Amino acid sequence: MLHTFEHMRLHPERPQIRQIKRAAKLLQDGAFAVVPTETTYAIMVLPTALKAQENIRQLRGLDESHLWSLVCADLSQAAQYVSIDNPSHRILKHALPGPYTFVLPANSKLPKRIFGKRKDVGIRIPDHAVCNMLLQELGEPLLATSMQFPDDDFIATDPDAIEPRIKHLNAVLLDAGWGNMTPTTVIDLCGDTPEVLRQGLGNWP
């Protein structure tokens, strides 16, 4: 089966727009991307790219019930898929973009094919130029999961070590140097008070 793999080396703060546009086109054509964020590298894919999602599940050893997070360019994009009340909006405005995943109530526009009957979803707005430019170029959110192989104890941080394990797939590796090993701090905003589900890179409160 034909596939495209590209390893792009980008400046972490001033990525080349030509390469970002190329990466966006590959995603739109059905590839997945390994993308740097201010925390770890993440695997990202468009909600419509079903074959790429299956490739990711096989690569990571995930089942159909895996909980994807939704990576958005900004709060207005996130608000298309989740319900944000005033207290939550104040928290999000203060913390984002940044190293947090916020769990929020899903609205009716969340793709049922991907998320099933889930009543909530984790929203991520990273603070990294490469990821942000990619999201802006696409104009729509991406599904994301961490870049961790099933036989590894830790999240993958070295793009040159990631390449040989994904180059047989329809994928693009956006290489901005070594990544961080510490994941996001996950905070549930669905209840009356915020609840920390995982302490990561982001300080809370």
Is there a contact between 60 and 143 (Cβ–Cβ < 8 Å)?
Answer: no
Measure the CA–CA gap between 197 and 159, rounded to whole angstroms. Answer: 28
Q: Note the pLDDT of residue 179.
A: 96
Q: Is a pLDDT exceeding 70 seen at residue 53?
A: yes
Query: How confident is residue 65, by pLDDT bands cut at 50, 70 and 90?
Result: confident
Q: Note the pLDDT of residue 2.
A: 63
For 89-137, the pLDDT digits (tens) are: 999 999 999 999 999 999 988 888 888 888 999 999 999 999 999 999 9
Is there a contact between 195 and 205 (Cβ–Cβ < 8 Å)?
Answer: no
Q: Is a pLDDT exceeding 50 seen at residue 1?
A: no
| Helices and strands of the chain, counted as H and E runs | 7, 10
Q: What percent of the chain has pLDDT over 90?
A: 89
The answer to pTM > 0.85 is yes
Is there a contact between 45 and 27 (Cβ–Cβ < 8 Å)?
Answer: yes
Of residues 132, 157, 165, the one with CA closest to residue 24: 132
For 39-50, the pLDDT digits (tens) are: 999 999 999 999
Query: How confident is residue 198, by pLDDT bands cut at 50, 70 and 90?
Result: very high
Mean pLDDT, rounded, of the chain:
95
Q: What percent of the chain has pLDDT over 70?
A: 99
Q: Note the pLDDT of residue 116.
A: 84
Measure the CA–CA gap between 14 and 68, rounded to whole angstroms. Answer: 28
Beta-strand pair 69-71/171-175:
unpaired
Q: Which class is domain 5-198?
A: alpha beta
Of residues 161, 158, 205, the one with CA closest to residue 185: 205
